[in-house]
Amino acid sequence: MKKILIVEDEPSIAELQKDYLELSGFDVDLIDSGKKGLDQALHETYDLLILDVMLPEINGFEICKRVREEKDIPILMVSAKKEDIDKIRGLGLGADDYISKPFSPSELVARVKAHLTRYERLSAKSTQTNKQIQIRGIQIDQASRRVYVNKHEVVMTMKEFDLLLFFARNPNQVFSRDHLFERIWGFDSMGDPVTVTVHIRKLREKIEQDPSNPQYIETVWGAGYRFTV
Amino acid sequence: MKKILIVEDEPSIAELQKDYLELSGFDVDLIDSGKKGLDQALHETYDLLILDVMLPEINGFEICKRVREEKDIPILMVSAKKEDIDKIRGLGLGADDYISKPFSPSELVARVKAHLTRYERLSAKSTQTNKQIQIRGIQIDQASRRVYVNKHEVVMTMKEFDLLLFFARNPNQVFSRDHLFERIWGFDSMGDPVTVTVHIRKLREKIEQDPSNPQYIETVWGAGYRFTV
DNA sequence: AATAATCATCAAATAATTTTCAAATATACC
DNA sequence: GGTATATTTGAAAATTATTTGATGATTATT
């Protein structure tokens, strides 16, 4: 869950922001003074910062600049004054975005989400991990089409891989030979579904400890096969 | 000088954008069709992209998605429709910002500047490494287009270099011949994807110890090729 | 304009996968 | 327990994909 810090001294606005962001599933902290806000931002870990420009003690510009020196998180500035907006733009403060008051709460939420998404994209190459399927001792990397059984790589042929992937994506369901043939081979493919059997065997030889006693791909008599989790 | 690509089919708007951005010191290219725009965006180097959503042939969403898969530059989407704006937000396209028509030119310039600044800030750390790719025994210097295998320079032709660079940027992923052909040769390029094969071989002859037993660019039967790290 | 380098095309050779088939084995039902 | 039905298995045949070398076309360089 993403943590957001809001530094805003006007209670009504602060509460409005907090409510909407929490409703969208964020973990929100609220602070009403610039001094405390800066301290909190520097010493706690947040994923995003929302700063009001006009604040007691230390203003939003100053906080932005100071935080930016140390932290690399998205910072959104909020202000009612047009001059402020220009200042945010012009001055190289390192703010990521600005929102002018009055703003619609949904606009705020949209911006927050956009910045968090972008930040994730730029910082971590998280794209790699979401293509991985891990089921019991079997790990499937879709992008590289590699399969590991108990951490050891097992080289699969195309049909074997497709079959395994299909099972892994639909575990604990029984599929008939005909059904599997349609799904993996294509519904307009000519040929005989019995060929599925042979591939099941090949697959078992590669992933099962004892292929005649399968622990992953089980035979369901009269119905088909099931990848058991 | 920062290079910007605008993909916009309405000449009056396109010219307006171009004029203002050039006045602000940017180097601007203008393209009026989605297909050509995507091709240009993928094969030239730009610092920022401005995409109209409604375009002939290929729309802005599609371009955004495809460019994002390869390039890590700010993308601004432009649209008149409110539904589009919502779509840009909602769909995880990877757009960095959206601008609704009609827009003030100064607003556009401000946004462009903001995104370029932010992007520079974020990539500042990795800037050195950005131009150099080092994978196992292979070092690629993008700026000079030089390749070193085990510290020894290997001279590459254009296609060989492009192919290697693409693989190096996307390691451990299987790409089909068709996919590679689209990416390296351009998606609207006529010709046959089998030509990829020949270049793969040439590349292997240059970077592999034993080209018939490749350690870097592996053949994944029935699926394509994979640059293994 | 000549030369060199690169790129595209093709067909033969090779390699790997997929399919087929029949015998063997297992399961369900009477 | 016996029979019909379903599944497994092994090996060979058929198919499909990839590699390779040679050749002509294109492009850049001198």
pLDDT digits (tens, 9 = 90+) for B109-152: 888 988 888 887 766 655 444 578 899 999 999 888 999 999 99
pLDDT category of residue A171 using cuts at 50, 70 and 90:
very high
pLDDT at A88: 67
Q: At what angle do helices A60-70 and A34-43 cross, to 10 degrees?
A: 10
**Predicted confidence (pLDDT) at residue B61 exceeds the cutoff of 90:** no
Measured between CA atoms, how close is A143 to chain B, in angstroms?
A: 5
Per-residue pLDDT at A123: 64
A195, HSE (Cβ side, Cα atoms, 13 Å)? 12
Q: How far, in Å, CA of B209 to CA of B216, rounded?
A: 10
The tokens 């040439």 sit on which residue? B202
Q: pLDDT at position B11, please?
A: 92
Tally A–B CB contacts below 8 A.
44
Local structure of B151: helix, strand or coil: coil
Q: Which residue has the tokens 């399968």?
A: A214
How many CA atoms are closer than 13 Å to the CA of B207, on its beta-carbon side?
32
Contact A89 B221 (CB under 8 A): no
Mean pLDDT of B68-97: 78
| C1' of C17 to CA of B139 (Å) | 35
Asked whether the beta carbons of B166 and B180 are under 8 A apart, the reply is yes
CA-closest candidate to residue A77, choices A57, A90, A61: A61
A126 pLDDT band (50/70/90 cuts)?
A: very low
> Residue A117: its pLDDT value, please?
82
For A89, the closest of B114, B172, B228 (CB atoms) is B114
Contacts of A96 in chain B (CB under 8 A): 118
Architecture of domain B2-125: 3-Layer(aba) Sandwich (3.40)
Query: Top-level CATH class of B132-227?
Result: mainly alpha
Q: For residue A211, how far is the Cα from the chain centroid?
A: 37
SS3 A53: coil
| Cβ of residue B124 closer than 8 Å to a chain A Cβ | no
B121: contact with A, CB 8 A cutoff: yes
Reply yes or no on whether the pLDDT at A72 is more than 50.
yes
- Identify the residue with better confidence: A118 or B126: A118
Residue range B25-45: mean pLDDT, rounded: 88
Looking at every residue in chain B, the average pLDDT score rounds to 87
pLDDT of residue A70: 83
Q: What's the rounded mean pLDDT across residues A7-27?
A: 92
Q: Note the pLDDT of residue A130.
A: 60
Cβ of A157 under 8 Å from any chain B Cβ? yes
Chain D footprint bases within 7 A of protein beta carbons: 6-11, 17-22
Average pLDDT for A161-176: 94
Is the dihedral angle over the CA atoms B24, B29, B35, B39 positive or is it negative?
A: negative
**Predicted pLDDT of residue B128:** 47
Lowest-confidence segment of A76-90, A139-153, B155-169 by average pLDDT: A76-90
Dist. CA A222–CA B101, nearest whole Å = 62
Band of pLDDT at residue A166, cut at 50, 70 and 90: very high
* CA–CA separation, B226 and B223 (whole Å): 9
Q: Output the distance from B102 CA to C20 C1' rounded to whole Å.
A: 66
Interface-testing mutation among A83, A128, A144, with chain B (most B C-beta atoms within 10 A) = A144
Highest mean pLDDT among A108-122, B100-114, B136-150: B136-150
- For residue A52, list its beta bridge partners: A78
DSSP letter string over B8-27?
Answer: -S-HHHHHHHHHHHHHTT-E
Structure token digits, residue A159: 């049909």
Nearest nt to the A193 alpha carbon by C1': C19
Instruction: Answer for the pair B63, B41: CB distance below 8 angstroms, yes or no.
Output: yes
Q: How far is the CA of B193 from the C1' of C9 (A)?
A: 11
Quote the distance between the C-alpha of residue B168 and its chain's center.
14
- pLDDT of B99 higher than 60: yes
Radius of gyration for the alpha carbons in chain A, expressed in angstroms and rounded: 27
Q: What is the DSSP letter of B174?
A: E
- A110 at interface of B, judged by CB pairs closer than 8 A: yes
Q: Is the CB of B197 under 7 A from strand D?
A: yes
The token pair at B115 is: 């995104």
**Per-residue pLDDT at A69:** 83
pLDDT in tens, B169-225: 889 999 999 999 988 887 767 788 899 999 999 999 999 999 889 999 999 999 999
Q: In angstroms, how far is D10 C1' from A182 CA?
A: 26
The segment with the largest mean pLDDT, out of A57-61, A80-84, B51-55, B195-199, is: B195-199
Q: Is the pLDDT of residue B14 over 60?
A: yes
Q: What is the pLDDT of residue B44?
A: 82
Mean pLDDT value of segment A197-205: 95
Give the start-to-end residue ranges of the domains of chain A.
2-125, 132-227
- A144 chain-B contacts, CB cut-off 8 A: 172-174, 226, 228
Grade residue A71 by pLDDT with cuts at 50, 70 and 90.
confident
Instruction: Using CB atoms, pick whichever of A118, A123, A145 lies closest to residue B220.
Output: A145
The answer to whether B115 contacts chain A (CB < 8 Å) is no
Q: CA A148, C1' D6: Å apart?
A: 32
Residue keyed to tokens 């909020």: A78
Pairing between strand B138-141 and B132-135?
antiparallel
* One-letter amino acid for residue A120 of the chain: E
Distance from C-alpha of A3 to C-alpha of A213, rounded to nearest angstrom? 49
| Pick from A121, A128, A143: CB nearest B94 | A121
Write the CA distances from B169 to A166, B164, B214, integer angstroms. 28, 8, 18
CA nearest to B200, candidates B162, B163, B157? B163
Contact between B226 and A145 using a beta-carbon 8 Å cutoff: yes
Q: Choose the weakest-confidence range: A91-95, A96-100, B151-155.
A: A91-95
Tell me if chain B has a CB within 8 Å of the CB of A153.
no
